[in-house]
Amino acid sequence: MQIVQQILFLLLVIAAVWIFTKKVFFIRKNIALGRDENVTPSPERWRNVLLMAFGQKRMFDKPLVALLHLAVYAGFIIINVEILEIILDGLFGTHRLFAPSLHNVYTFVIDFFEVLAFLVLAACVIFLLRRNLVKVPRLNKGELGGGWPRKDANIILTFEIVLMTLFLLMNSADRALQLREYGHYHNVGPFWISSNVAPLFQNLSTETLVGIERGAWWLHIIGIFVFLNYLPYSKHLHIILAFPNTYYARLKPQAQMVNMPEIQREVLYAMQPETIPADAAQEEHKRFGAKDVSDLSWKNLLDAYTCTECGRCTQQCPANQTGKKLSPRKIMMDTRDRMEEIGANREKNGSVQEDGKSLLHDYITTEELWACTSCQACVQACPVLIDPLNIINQLKRYLALEESNQPAEWNGMYSNVENNFAPWKFSPDERDAWTADV
Whether 178 and 315 share a structural domain? no
269 lies in the same domain as 242: no
Q: Are 58 and 383 contacting, i.e. CB atoms less than 8 angstroms apart?
A: yes
pLDDT band at 118 (very low <50, low <70, confident <90, very high): very high
CA angle 207, 208, 211 (to 5 degrees): 90
388 is a domain residue: yes
Domain boundary residue, one of 247, 269, 295: 247
Same domain (yes/no): 348, 303 = yes
> Does 237 share its domain with 368?
no
Assigned domain for 47 exists: no
Output 390 or 137, whichever has higher pLDDT: 390
Residue 1 pLDDT > 70: no
Residues 386 and 349 placed together within one structural domain of the fold? yes
Task: Give a yes or no: residue 223 inside a domain.
Answer: yes
Position 266 in a domain: yes
* Domain that residue 302 falls in: 261-424
The DSSP code for 251 is: -
Distance CA 260, CA 434 (A): 33
**153 domain residue, yes or no:** yes
- Residue 430: inside a domain: no
Phi/psi for 130 (5° steps) reads -65, -40
CB 164 within 8 A of CB 117: yes
The count of other CB atoms within 10 Å of the CB of residue 180 is 11
User: Could you tell me if 358 and 302 lie in one domain?
Assistant: yes
Dist. CA 194–CA 191, nearest whole Å: 6
Number of domains in the chain: 2
**Residues 271 and 300 reside in one and the same domain:** yes
Cα gap 150→78, rounded to integer Å: 26
Whether residues 189 and 102 fall in one domain: yes
pLDDT digits (tens, 9 = 90+) for 263-302: 777 777 777 777 777 766 666 667 789 999 999 999 999 9
Does one domain contain both 78 and 218? yes
The pTM is what?
0.86
DSSP string, 151-217: HHHHHHHHHHHHHHHHHHHHHHHHHHHHHTT-TT-------TTHHHHGGGGTTS-HHHHHHHHHHHH
Do 279 and 230 reside in the same domain of the chain? no
- CATH classification of the domain holding 310: 1.10.1060
pLDDT tens readout for residues 94-113: 888 888 888 788 888 888 88
Give residue-wise pLDDT tens across range 405-419. Answer: 888 878 888 788 778
Within this chain, do residues 181 and 90 fall inside the same structural domain, yes or no?
A: yes
